[in-house]
Amino acid sequence: MKGIRQAVELSRATQLMNHGPVTIITSAHGERSNIMAASWAMPLDFSPPKVVVVIDSRTLTRQLVEASGVFGLQLPSRVLARQTLAVGTKPGMELDKFSAFQLETFRGQQIDVPMLEGCVAWMECKVIPDDSQRHDLIIGEVVAAYADSRVYSNNRWHFGDDPDVRTCHYVAGGTFFATGEAFEVDPVPVGSGF
């Protein structure tokens, strides 16, 4: 059963990444498109919402992002772990990864980039140019954000009992951890110690 993609307020978009999951970056320009996994992605700012991703300058994804000025940033669920590993280890210059791994996509709302079905959150980003850039960081402004209503609503994650819709954290060598059990604590009043 699929969840419903519901809009996330742009002022809350970076909350989608606060728990540090592996991400998937999609890109397109002209007749080419690509998809890659990226563990080095994080929120940068709230208003307007910005993210930072690391994309090696020698990759097809980087070429497409630089040419188009946009990219999709998605949070895959546990059910997509095999595909996440595959798109993260196979170079896009050699094959069409969307076709090779039979990945289902839909078009972004604000940018012309394929977005990956089966994820639990999606962000559409426009590149913020940085003329002094001498590194592999790309800064993007989030121009649209939406999430699977089964696991994200009212500006909060609520993964519940279904392990297949939990986000993943990539370690190495094909090993992932699924986002674990949530728990809450009361704030400690100032001056009260522990």
Per-residue pLDDT of 26-83, as tens digits, reads: 999 999 999 999 988 998 988 899 999 999 989 999 999 999 999 999 999 999 999 9
**Widest pairwise Cα distance in the chain:** 61
> Of 180, 71, 87, nearest to 122 (Cα)?
71
Instruction: Please identify which residue in the block is written with the tokens 């990945």.
Output: 103
Residue 119's domain spans which residues? 5-178
Tens of pLDDT along 124-166? Answer: 999 998 776 677 889 999 999 999 999 999 999 998 888 899 9
What CATH number has the domain bearing residue 131?
A: 2.30.110.10
Q: Is cis: bond before 163, omega within 30 of 0?
A: no
Residue 9 lies in a domain: yes
- Dist CA 50 CA 62 (whole Å): 18
> Of 194, 134, 142, nearest to 23 (Cα)?
142
**In the chain, how many domains are there?**
1
